[in-house]
Structure 1
Amino acid sequence: MKSSQSSPADGPGTFDHGGGVRSLRVPIPDNPLGHTLVYVVDTDRGPVLIDTGWDDPSAWEALTSGLAACGTSVEALHGVVVTHHHPDHHGLSGKVREASGAWVAMHAADAAIVRRTRGTRPERWYTYMADKLTAAGAPEEHIAPLRTTRTRRRTLPGLAPALPDREIVPGEFLDLPGRRLRAIWTPGHTPGHVCLHLEEEHPARLGGHGRLFSGDHLLPEITPHIGLYEDPDDDTVTDPLGDYLDSLERVGRLGPAEILPAHQHAFTDAPSRVRELLAHHEDRLTGLLALLSVPLTAWQVAERMEWNRPWDAIPYGSRNIAVSEAEAHLRRLVKQGRAEAVTGSEPVTYMAV
């Protein structure tokens, strides 16, 4: 259920959650999510941010004006804790550090992605994605733009993300004087996604165990994208959906009094939301099995899966994300022994067992 504990602070898009925790709405340009909720946590050495928002002038303006409405500033920040490496969370971290001298902390698995992203030429990513889509059975007209010089020169977000200077260690308290904020490793949305458990009494004395900054892991009304962990230089067969489902159960057992997510709004009853998400993904897996009564490529599976709009209306980039999500579900079914790749098929097709 939606939390009623949040109240407006001194500015639009700024909310006081009590107990030295506030949130700022930082816009994401041209994205249906609208904004990232960036949290400001007071500590004995100054305020610390949980995530920073997209690297865009409008986002920077929202961040700086929001901090001013909270009675502080970018220059006063002590640190930045990044839930995961995606640009709507980590995008402004470098700019914040330049302005304040604040440290930036991230889980080692996502820090490795940041290092790889900075060191990989855009052309390598386009080639990698073209090869991946070919293997997934995508039609040539979809792959062709990735091979053109014009497309290769496009500017992609997050190609030079800030390198973190501190590591978030799962299970340990972060170095935040005066606060008890424990890192909970929750891979799935990304390999190094973390939730942050504020192990302090809820300011409104809600029943449960503290508050959970859930990043994109646990959201009140939508499900995060769970796709393959993309790495051009690593062919390890990962199971992101399995990671996510295991992480969900772990968070449900924490029993926090309130969840403070990175999108939408604060809410309560984490165990109930976890059960809904577990059921949702099992329904998707069951539906996918029904599709696999005949051999299908990952692209054909994605075309037939249920999305928030018809396949023909899904934009180009979003189709790539949908295929990655279909592949993550196929990986889970194969690992469970409920489906298998058809021997000798090229591109690879899958069937229910």
Structure 2
Amino acid sequence: MNDVPPVEDLGNGVWSLPVPIPHSPLGATLVYLVEGDRGPVLVDTGWNHDDSWDGLVQGVKQTGHAVEDIRGAVLTHFHPDHSGLTARLRASSDAWIAMHPADIAVTEQLAATGARERADSVAEQFRAAGFPDEDVDAFLADPHVIDPSALPDLALDDGAAVDLPGRDLRTLWTPGHTPGHLCLRLADADMLFTGDHVLPGITPHVGHFPLDTPAGDPLGDFLTSQRTVGALPGADRLLCLPSHERRFTGLPDRTATIVAHHEERLDAMTALLDEGPATLWELTSRLRWKRPWQDMRLLARHMAAAETAAHLRTLEERGRAARHGTDDRPRWVAVTGQASHT
């Protein structure tokens, strides 16, 4: 099991429960327990693994509660390190499970397709992006496709009050990282659960695949959501509780830094497109990443391509790039005469 930080009492009836993610550099998902008059509610559940479940059960026990006492769980989004333990939690308690409708729709779509079908879909995305045949073959030989979590019971729209008697916990829809990502504000404690939307040290992943569905602008949504969160009343005094890394303050400065990072990325991509048309693979492989492209694992390359695709979609929306070529092998070109967005 990865080394994980200890359970912490954050005051105001809020606890941090680090739930391990085995064999992941992230180490753990920071699940939070919020106490109420009629039982506690969890923010997220953690990865679906025996070690993760044991970590959650023992963490809840250290708060003076038992898993059987959990009133419900709000999932910030559908990703498996946040939603994976929903079925086990439901089987061990009468807890309701809630998520934003947009991520419920994604979960339903994933549940309706088999693992092989999902793997073939990803392989087609690779081909359309221009990935070499050896990368596509390597993926199909060992596809990284994760089963979706159990479907939630409840849908929580933007601004909804969470069923937590005695507390004022409300949702804030922050699409981008996923279509239905939620942050949650605990108004009676000046705390904001930021999920993966705002992290203190790393920039959350925002991807856009497949390429044959150009509708939507996840990065544009993400940047709007960052600005919205950073401008919340009293944002500068909120204690931010993310799902990874560490809690932090200074929310307006952090959201501004994240927005600036993506704007610089958009400008860098425009500069590369000025050199000539490029497929998604060609553009992604020429960008600067934390690790050199040639040293990146295939899964990391896939995530990098999805992130590049999201930036291209925003450039299209802003009139700074255009898609040419065929649907099965599109290329992008720069549109001259357009100023960068600020």
TM-score (norm 1): 0.89
Shift of 1:229: 5.5
Match of 2:145 among 133, 153, 156: 156
AA in 2 matched with 1:246? T
Match of 1:179 among 167, 170, 175: 167
Q: Give the Cα separation in 1 of the matches to 2:214 and 2:134.
A: 29
Please state whether the residue corresponding to 1:250 is helix, strand or coil. Answer: helix
Match of 1:315 among 285, 297, 307: 297
Q: Counterpart of 1:277?
A: 258
Asked if the contact 1:109/1:191 (under 8 Å) is kept, the reply is: yes
Shift of 1:343: 4.7
Q: Is 1:261 aligned to residue 254 of structure 2?
A: no
Range moving further from structure 2, 177-186 or 139-148: 139-148
Moved runs in structure 1, 4+ residues, more than 4 A?
343-346
Q: Give the Cα separation in 1 of the matches to 2:278 and 2:168.
A: 49
AA in 2 matched with 1:291? L
Change (3 A) 1:42 1:53: same
Q: Counterpart of 1:189?
A: 177
Shift of 1:98: 0.6
Asked if the contact 1:118/1:160 (under 8 Å) is kept, the reply is: yes
Q: Give the Cα separation in 2 of the matches to 1:281 and 1:259.
A: 21
Q: Give the Cα separation in 2 of the matches to 1:344 and 1:104.
A: 43
Paired residues for 1:75-90 under 5 Å: 75-90=68-83
Q: Counterpart of 1:215?
A: 195
Q: Give the Cα separation in 2 of the matches to 1:172 and 1:189.
A: 20
Q: Give the Cα separation in 1 of the matches to 2:39 and 2:327.
A: 58
Please state whether the residue corresponding to 1:265 is helix, strand or coil. Answer: coil
Please state whether the residue corresponding to 2:57 is helix, strand or coil. Answer: helix
AA in 2 matched with 1:259? C
Match of 1:351 among 299, 310, 333: 333
Asked if the contact 1:38/1:51 (under 8 Å) is kept, the reply is: yes
Q: Counterpart of 2:131?
A: 138
Please state whether the residue corresponding to 1:173 is helix, strand or coil. Answer: coil
Asked if the contact 1:229/1:238 (under 8 Å) is kept, the reply is: no
AA in 1 matched with 2:165? P
Q: Give the Cα separation in 2 of the matches to 1:222 and 1:276.
A: 11
Match of 2:227 among 249, 252, 260: 249
Asked if the contact 2:73/2:96 (under 8 Å) is kept, the reply is: yes
Q: Give the Cα separation in 2 of the matches to 1:179 and 1:194.
A: 18
Q: Give the Cα separation in 2 of the matches to 1:155 and 1:100.
A: 31
Paired residues for 1:1-353 under 5 Å: 13-147=6-140, 151=142, 156-157=145-146, 159-200=147-188, 202=189, 210-228=190-208, 235=213, 237-254=215-232, 255-256=234-235, 257-293=238-274, 294-343=276-325, 347-353=329-335
Instruction: Report how many residues are paired.
Output: 328
Q: Counterpart of 2:338?
A: none
Range moving further from structure 2, 129-138 or 323-332: 129-138
Asked if the contact 1:189/1:225 (under 8 Å) is kept, the reply is: yes
